[in-house]
Structure 1
Amino acid sequence: MAKKKKKIDETALAAAYNEALALEKAGDFDKAAKAYQKVLALDPEDHGGAAVRIASMGLGDAPPKAPDAYVETLFDQHAAAFEDILVDQLEYCVPLMVRERIDTLKLGPFKKLLDLGCGTGLTGGALRDICGEMVGLDLSEKMVEMAHEKDLYETLYVAEAADFLEDNEDGPFDIVTATDVLPYVGFLEELFFGVADNLEKGDLFLFSSETLPDAVLNGRDFMVGPHQRFAHAESYVRKVLASAGFEVAELGGITVRLEDGEPIPGHLVVARKILV
C-alpha cells in the first residue's frame, strides 16, 4: 500500500517561511537557518527552497540539487512573466550565444535535439531552423504549456532531466542542450552521464553554467551562491565531462545574466562525446 502523504499546514508553513525570510534579510543568518529548518519540518519536499537558502548563507552543505518541488513551484509562479524578467530585465541571452557558437564552429544541421530545461522555448527558438526534430522537457508544467503555444517542439514533456534521461525511449539525439539548468543542479555526475547515454559518438552537448571566483569556491566543486543558484568550478565541470566520455571542444567565459544590476559570470561549453 502506498504511503499517504502528510498534508501540509499551509498557514503554519507560510508563517514559518516569512519568519525565516525576514531573519535572513535582516542578516541574522543563524536564526534564519534554524527558522528554515522549521520550514523543512513542515514541508519535507521543500517547495520554498529552504535547503538551498540555508546553503546560500553558508550554514549548511549544498544539497545535490535544488529540490524538484522548489524548481517546479518557482517556475510555475514566474511562467507568465518569465521572458520579460529573464530577457528584458536580466539581459539573459545564452540561447543566442549557443546559436552563435554553433554557427562559428560550423556545427549542424542536426537531426534531433533534446532541450533540457526548455522553459518557454528560448533555446528551441534559437535553434529551430537547424534541427529536423526537437524534443523539450521541463519540470514546470506552466513553462511547458507556454513552450507548446510557440509550436517549436515536436514533443514536450513535463519531467526531471536526470529521470527522463534514464528512462528515455525517444533517442538517440545528435545534440543535447541545457541552458540555465546547471544553476539548479550541484552534483553533475548523474546529469552528464545521462546525457552521454542518449548521444552517440561524435554527438554534441552544449550547456551553460555559473561560477564564482576561486577564492569564494575555496576548493569546492560546487556551492550555492548568494542568489540561491549553484555555481560550479571549471575544473569540476571538465572532470565530470571527461568521466562521462566527453571531450571539451570549447569552454568560454560568459556573462550569464544580471543580478541586482551586476553581471553573473559563467561558462558556455561545447562538448563532444568521444566514447562509444
Structure 2
Amino acid sequence: MTHVDEDALAEAYNKGLELEKAGQLDEAAEAYRTALALDPSDPGGVSIRLAAMGRAASPERMPEAYVATLFDQHADVFDDILVEQLGYCVPVLLREKARALGLGPFARLLDLGCGTGLTGVAFSDCADHLTGVDLSEQIVEVAYDREVYEDLYVGEAVSFLQEFEEEDGTRSDWDFIAATDVFPYLGAIEPIVRAAANRLTEQGIFAFSTETLPAEVLNGRDYMVGRKQRFAQSDDYLKRVLASEGFDILAMDPITVRMEDGEPVPGHLVVARRRP
C-alpha cells in the first residue's frame, strides 16, 4: 500500500480551494494536480473540480474515495441538508410515477445508492423485499435505523450489480432497480445500465434520476461535469444507451432534482422496462 503524505496532500488541496475561490483558476488547477499526484485515489475529488473549472476533461465517473468521504462526512445531517435545505423529493416523485404507470407491487426491489433510505421509505408499501446498497458506511448505518430494508450492503453500485451473490453462492435478480441521485456521480452510464439489465427479471423495471444541462453547454457531449461538480447527461445519450441495452422507456419526465443557491437544478426522472 502506497504511503500518502497527508500533510502535503492537505496543503495542496487547501491551496487549490483558496486559489479557486479567489478566481485564480490556472494556479488552482496546478495545486489540484499536485494533490492528485500525491493521492491518485482522489478522496478530495480534485479531478471533478478540475473538470468543473474547465481545466481537464470530465472523467468517466467520480472517484469512489471522494464519494464515500463526501457522504460519510454528512451522514448525520444528510436528510436535513437534502430534503429541508435542497428540497430533494425524487423518491416521492418516483413512487408517484410508478403508481401512475401501474407498476408494482414488486417482489424484490434493489435501491442503488440508497443513502439514508428515502427511496426505501417511499416504496416500503409496494415491495416485499427491499435491498439497499451505498458506498458510505455511515450513511448505511442511518438507513439501517429506518428499519425498511431486509438487506443492506456497503458497496459501489455498478460493482454490486456485477458481483453480488447471496451467502450460499446463489445469484439474486430483482424486478425493480432504483437509482435515485446516482447518475450525477457516474458520468458514463453504459456500465450501470448494462449491469442493471443483467440483474433484472424479465420485463423488470430500472428507474433513475439524472441532472442535465442546456444543449449549448453540453455542446454535443454525452456527459460532462457541471459547475456544481456533478455530472449531467444528455437526453440523446440516455435514450441511446437504454435502447442498446434492451430497455423500452416508459417515462422520461423533466423534473427539478433539487434547489441549489436558490436555483432549480433540472434533470429527468426515467423509468425503463427491460424487453422480454
User: TM (normalized to structure 1)?
Assistant: 0.97
Residue-by-residue CA offset, 1:153-175 (whole Å, 9 max, x unaligned): 11111011111111122521000
SS at match of 2:88: coil
Query: What secondary structure sits across from 1:180 in the alignment?
Result: coil
* One-letter amino acid matched to 1:74: L
State the SS of the aligned residue for 1:248: strand
Q: How does 1:1-276 map to 2 (within 5 A)?
A: 5-170=1-166, 171-275=172-276
Aligned-residue Cα RMSD (Å) equals 0.8
Could you give the per-residue CA deviations for residues 203-238 of structure 1, whole angstroms, max 9, x where no partner exists?
101100000000000000000000110000010011
1:40-97 CA-to-partner distances (Å, cap 9, x unmatched) read 0111100000000000011111111000000000000011010000000000000000
Distance in 2 (alpha carbons) for counterparts of 1:178 and 1:199: 13
The amino acid across from 2:100 in the alignment is T
For residues 123 and 129 of structure 2, the distance between their equivalents in structure 1, rounded to whole angstroms, comes to 10
Superposition misfits of 4+ residues, deviation over 6 angstroms: none
**AA paired with 1:238?**
K
Alpha-carbon distance in structure 2 between the residues aligned to 1:185 and 1:27: 27
Partner Cα separation in structure 1 for residue 106 and residue 165 of structure 2: 19
Question: d(CA) in 1 for partners of 2:68 and 2:97?
Answer: 30
Q: CA deviation at 1:126?
A: 0.3
Cα displacement string for residues 87-114 of structure 1 (whole angstroms, at most 9, x for unaligned residues): 0000000000001101111110000000
**Partner-residue secondary structure (3-state), 1:88:** helix
In the aligned structure 2, how far is the partner of 1:195 from the partner of 1:39?
Answer: 34
Deviation sequence 1:155-202 (CA, Å, 0-9, x none)? 111011111111122521000000000010011111100000001221
Aligned length: 271
